Every structure is written in structure tokens, then in C-alpha cells.
Amino acid sequence: MRIENILVIMRADEGQLARLQAAAPDAKVIRQSVKTLTPQQVAEADVVVGNLPPNFFPHLKRIKLLQLNSAGVAPHYVALGQDNPGMVLCCASGAYGVAISEHMLGALLMLMKRLHQYRDDQHKALWEDRGDVAGLRGAQVLSVGMGDIGTRFAQLCACFGAQVIGIRRRPAAPPEGVQRIATMDELDSLLPQADVVALSLPETEDTMGLMDERRFGLMKQGSYLLNVGRGSAVVQPALLEALRRGRLAGAAIDVTEPEPLPKDDPLWQEPNLLITPHISGQYHLRLTHDNIIDMAARNIRALLGEGEYVARVDLEAGYRA
């Protein structure tokens, strides 16, 4: 396998570009912003590092590896891989676990300790005791989606003394700190016992609308919901109703449907809901950025016959194999 041109369309500094160059010393590494990207550059690329916009798909002529900088895999990338059987498609699943799991933990503790309410009171110069709080020690946590993000979050909760059950599509041995791994067909029976339900799921036909009015009705009174996967996993009017009725004591969502969330959506005004604008991952933590570059370098080496691919996408399932 020969690689002549590596086109990098995600943000990368000189040190990160050098690591990509080291993976394929004979190749030319080209850093180009999507805003100034040309069809010719795409046509000449053997490897593309970054989420290539779909309008450039018809210009791919020599593509051998598309390395996404996102953990999730949009349907149009899956279709591109299916239409180009000679192309390897890899995502960045595994790069975001530390950043997003820490975001989840911070959001959950904020809600449990009523810190969001005290922050609101601060802006009103209001000195008021908000009463009882919740904690993770002894709490039942249900981590729905046990990829890198869900597993790391589960283990963080276990460190605080929580009892954690993970949910995956298929049975598996539980990682350290997790009591057991359940499958999706057990979700309904587990929801009534869970103090915390954390979603870190890709968008598939099975996950869209997963948390609807019926399932919110199954959740434990005064429990908490977190969603960092895709906004489509939660039926938002049902979430709002569950918060207003007190079924949920609080919720934190880093993803919405649509994005951005419209300014007139009533979710913005819900006092026990934390909304963040899909920022738990991205490159805000330097470790995440470096992880993506290192994954791309490993996959370039794998393309050259050195080692195994990491986070290669299963084109039938639509996410990391």
C-alpha cells in the first residue's frame, strides 16, 4: 500500500502534524481548513483526517482511509463506506472518554448537590438553604451504552461508592467497578430501580426515541437523567413533563434535537435541567485532541500494514466494531 497525500481538515498544530508525518514518512501531509478546501485536494487525497463534508464526497477518487474526528458516525459516512468497499472508515470512539465522563460526573454532582440552584440564588444575592441533597454513595447507576464514555463514567461512579449496571447490545463481561452488564431488552425492568440513568449512545434506529413518555414513567421518582450521546435518544417533551412532575429530580443534556436548541423551546426555562451546547467532547481538553491524532497515526500505520486498526467502523452496525 502506498500513501502519497494525507489531507488533514481538522485542527492540528505542528507537533500533531509531525506525528501524522511520522506514521507515513514518504507521504505529503497537507493541513487545510474546510472553509478553503478544494475539490482537487480531496481528489488527490489517499487519507483524509477529519469529518469531510458530504458535498465533497463526489470528489473522492483515491481515498483509502477516512479518519473521522467524531466518536459518532453519521449515516452519510456509513453510506460512503458501503459505496466504497476499498475504503477503511474509522471514527474517534475511544478518544473522548476522559473528557465526557468527567463532564457527566460534574453535571450529576451539580444537580445532586443543588449547586445549580445556589448559582441562580447567587445572582439574586439570595442567602437561602435549599435543603436536602443526594449523593452517589449507595446510589444505583444505570449506564446505557458501555463504550469508552459509558464505561469510564460507570467506573467514576463506582469510585464514589455507587452500584453500577451497564447496558450493551450484546452480553459481555463487566469491566472493573461494574456489577454486571445487562442487555437492552432488560432496560424496562432496570429503570424503576435506577437513581441515575446515563445515556452515551450512538444514533441508530434502535436508540432514536429510546427515552419516551412510557420509559420516563418507569423511572424512579426523584431520579436523574444524563444524555451525552445523541439528542434523538430522548423525546424532549416527555423529558420536560418528567421534570415538571417531579419524576426526575434533575437532568443534564449535552445534546438536543435539533441543535442548536431553538430559543423558544421551553426546556431552556426548566430550573432543574442543565443544557450544554454539545461541548463535553470536542477539543476543549487537550488530551482529547491528542488522542484523535494518535488514533489517526495508528490507523495510517495499519493501512501500511503495521499493526491493527483502532475504532474501525462496522458498516453494518453503523459504529465502532
Q: Identify whether residues 241 and 290 lie together within a single domain.
A: no
Q: Is the pLDDT of residue 134 over 70?
A: yes
In this structure, are strands 313-314 and 319-320 parallel, antiparallel, or unpaired? antiparallel
Q: What is the pLDDT of residue 168?
A: 96
**Percent of the chain having pLDDT more than 90?**
94
158 within domain boundaries? yes
Residue 70's nearest CA partner among 178, 304, 229, 266 is 229
Q: What is the pLDDT of residue 161?
A: 98
In this structure, are strands 273-275 and 313-314 parallel, antiparallel, or unpaired? unpaired
Q: Identify whether residues 86 and 209 lie together within a single domain.
A: no
Number of domain units in the chain: 2
Q: Identify whether residues 40 and 181 lie together within a single domain.
A: no
238 within domain boundaries? yes
Q: Identify whether residues 63 and 169 lie together within a single domain.
A: no
Residue range 260-284: mean pLDDT, rounded: 97
Residue range 275-303: mean pLDDT, rounded: 97
Indicate the range of 43-47, 163-167, 235-239, 281-285 predicted with least confidence. Answer: 281-285
Residue range 272-295: mean pLDDT, rounded: 97
Q: What is the pLDDT of residue 163?
A: 98
Q: Is the pLDDT of residue 290 over 90?
A: yes
Q: Identify whether residues 58 and 122 lie together within a single domain.
A: no
| Mean pLDDT score across all residues of the chain | 97
Residue ranges making up the domain that contains 167: 97-275
Q: Is the pLDDT of residue 321 over 70?
A: no
List the catalytic residue out of 180, 259, 284, 306: 259
> Is the peptide bond prior to 266 cis by the omega test (within 30 degrees of 0)?
no
Residue range 218-245: mean pLDDT, rounded: 98
Q: Is the pLDDT of residue 119 over 70?
A: yes
280 within domain boundaries? no
Q: What is the pLDDT of residue 319?
A: 67
Q: What is the pLDDT of residue 310?
A: 97
Residue range 139-164: mean pLDDT, rounded: 98
Kind plus residue range of the DSSP H or E element containing 288: helix 286-303
The answer to whether 170 is a known catalytic residue is: no
Residues 190-213 have pLDDT tens digits of 999 999 999 999 888 999 999 999
Do residues 16 and 289 touch, judged by C-beta distance below 8 A? yes
CATH number at residue 62: 3.40.50.720
Cell of 109: 454532582
Q: Identify whether residues 81 and 101 lie together within a single domain.
A: no
256 within domain boundaries? yes
178 within domain boundaries? yes
The answer to whether 116 is a known catalytic residue is: no
Q: What is the pLDDT of residue 315?
A: 85
Residue range 281-308: mean pLDDT, rounded: 97
Ramachandran region, residue 273 (left: φ > 0; alpha: ψ -120 to 50; beta: rest): beta
Tell me the β-bridge partners of 140: 163
List the catalytic residue out of 31, 152, 215, 230: 230
Residues 10-59 have pLDDT tens digits of 999 999 999 999 999 999 999 999 999 999 999 999 999 999 999 999 99
Enter the pTM of the model.
0.91
Q: Identify whether residues 221 and 242 lie together within a single domain.
A: yes
Task: Write phi, then psi, for 210 (nearest 5 degrees).
Answer: -60, -50
119 within domain boundaries? yes
The answer to whether 289 is a known catalytic residue is: no
Residue 235's nearest CA partner among 208, 253, 259 is 208
Q: Identify whether residues 124 and 177 lie together within a single domain.
A: yes
Q: Is the pLDDT of residue 176 over 80?
A: yes
How far is it, in rounded angstroms, from Cα 263 to Cα 287? Answer: 32
